[in-house]
Chains A and B, each alone.
Chain A
Amino acid sequence: MMSNCKSPAGIDRSEKRFTWILTASGAFIVVLLIAIFFTLFITALPAIKKFGLTFLISKSWNATAESFGSLPFLVGTLLTSFLALIIAIPFSISISMFLGEYCKEGAISNFLRSAIEVLAGIPSVIYGLWGIFLLVPLVRSLEMQLGIVPYGVGILTSSLILAIMVIPFSASLGREVISLVPGDLKEAAYSLGATRFEVMKNIVIPYARSGIIAGILLAFGRAIGETMAVTMLIGNSSFLPTSIFSPANTMASVIANQFSEATGIVASSLIYIALVLFLVTTIVNIIGNYVIHKISIEASKEVT
């Protein structure tokens, strides 16, 4: 009977090998991430040793004097990302409310949903190219009207393009949490005579608040790491930005602009910046996903 079967021992061995491969490839991801961290840390070590944590608050980036500080880039990153979020939030919340509440299905909402999805899929370099030819002249003419040096490129231009790029990310999460708001809560408010606006303001938004905040956090994580479009529009300046119109550099764009010519301590400093960027996005992503995880657990509790 057993003769024309594979022996149980043979099956056992394949079985073990299969489980081993699966576990190993799972463990590989963990190893990969740890390796990324240590590679960045070790190659940045000369700069870490030389500048320490003052690297983060020193504002001089001077290759001839060999003194490096990342404050201009930190400020540039935070300014562009926050400005982008401030611009993007009204739009993305409107989309989430429109798709999650006002117009859940039908041709119009399908159209808007696909448009947002396509917007999310357009490569960042094309956003940059488009920005150069449409946004830069627009911002330049605005600057001329205001009587400022008309660079055209700068923090405002980058923030505008970043805002367009992050809208889809916060909007899709926002739509999901808004459509998760239990119907009986809304119906109770309606039956008391509330208008739709009042239901939105007092029921839907407070209920979906943590999800919307998670969406904004994830959008923030994306905005600080975005490279190409910003590199093309920010103007590549290593000085501390003085206004939202001045050219600057973000952490990602300074690496893109200068890493290919960098050697020695410059390269090491740039990798130090990459390490900081990596850690910040990691923390932002973990917090954002923790919030999402909590919401999904709460939602599944409510169903049962």
Chain B
Amino acid sequence: MEKQINIRLFKDTLFKGLVCLFAFASALPLFLILYYITKNGIAVINWDFLFNLPRPIGESGGGIGSAIVGTIMLIILSGVISIPFGIATGIYLSEQKKGKLSSIVRLCVIVLQGTPSIVIGIIAYIWVVLPLKTFSAMSGGIALSIMMLPVIIKTTEETLKLIPYHLKEASLALGVPYYKTMLKVILPAGLSGIVTGILLSIARITGETAPLLFTAFGNQFMNLNILKPIDSLPYRIFYYAMSPYPEWHTFAWGASFILVVFTLVFNLIARGISAKWKTQF
């Protein structure tokens, strides 16, 4: 009897040990990645690296200035396209809790969220690059905005659902028309949640490379024209990482460092906003 109990207790401790071991082992890659990025990346970062254009191999120096500008342009472009659509669809879904169309829309949002990024890249290629006959920042922005949409829609819907009904009733009782109630009462009340969603979606697309391979394409020169190919940080990392030159590999690490800082900053701001101005009632 005593022995039986001891075996069971031993099994229990063993299992607990295994769970802890596996759980913490899975955090290990994160620290390895961050360690590698900092170790290899921070050494190449200086003003020259941040603001100069890439140079051809053989010439030392050069930087990722055009890639940083390109990434910022792509974020703005895709934001301009997807934010209005995303918020409007989010309001629609939060208002139409039941109904045939809204449940179909909800399903489509889920499917769109799971669609592989490379497929979206091909779609943007067929829709924008083929008719215009050139790779362009525009097509990259469209591809990325399709990837942003589901995140914005989901967070807008979830946030607006949390806003209590009496807020809406109070406004309607004062004779405020429905659309003004939505725009001036409900939407501002859920603003922090919506902004969080937008920032999270930006963090998601900042590192996307696959949709840019056949759309924004990459460009060694500074370009501010949205109808011309444009460079971006993830594309530059990919390009440098696949090259055979050790110097370019260190550049890839440097660019990765900047990219991780970008995404982490967006994530942190998003979390800060949702913690500080949490929609509470």
B245 interface residue per 8 A CB criterion: no
User: What 0/1 readout, one digit per residue, does chain B (16-29) give for beta carbons within 8 Å of chain A?
Assistant: 10111111111101
Asked if B122 and A33 make an inter-chain contact with CB atoms under 8 angstroms apart, the answer reads no
Are B30 and A115 touching (Cβ within 8 A)?
A: yes
A134, B109: Cα distance in complex, Å: 37
Interface size bracket, B side: 35 or more
Task: Name the residue among A27, A98, A197, A256 with the largest chain B CB count within 10 angstroms.
Answer: A197
Q: A85: which B residues are within 8 A, CB to CB? A: none
A123-B122 contact given A112-B27, A252-B116, A282-B111, CB 8 Å threshold: no
Please report whether the interface of chain B is mostly helix, strand, loop or mixed according to DSSP. helix
CA distance A221 to B21 in the complex (A): 27
Q: Is the CB of A25 within 8 A of B92?
A: yes
Chain B residues lying within 8 Å of A134, measured Cβ to Cβ, are: 32, 36
Number of A-B contacts (CB under 8 A): 242
- A81→B122 CA distance, assembly (Å): 22
Q: Which size class do A's interface residues fall under?
A: 35 or more
Q: Residue A173 at the B interface, CB < 8 A? A: no
User: By the criterion CB–CB under 8 Å, are A102 and B126 in contact?
Assistant: no
Q: Would you call the interface of chain A mostly helix, strand, loop, or mixed?
A: helix
Contact between B153 and A29, CB atoms less than 8 A apart: yes
Judging by beta carbons under 8 Å apart, are B116 and A227 in contact?
yes
Q: Return A286 CB to nearest CB of chain B, in Å.
A: 7
Tell me the residues in window 100-141 of chain A with beta carbons closer than 8 Å to chain B beta carbons. 102, 112, 115-119, 121-130, 132-134
Q: A33 to B23, alpha carbons, bound, how many Å?
A: 38
* 1-24 of chain B: CB within 8 A of chain A: 8-9, 11-12, 14-16, 18-24
| B-binding residues in A (CB < 8 A) | 11, 14-15, 17-19, 21-23, 25-30, 32-33, 36, 39-40, 43, 90-92, 94-95, 97-99, 102, 112, 115-119, 121-130, 132-134, 164, 167, 171, 195-198, 200, 218, 221-222, 224-228, 232, 252, 255-256, 259-260, 270-271, 274, 277-278, 281-282, 284-286, 289
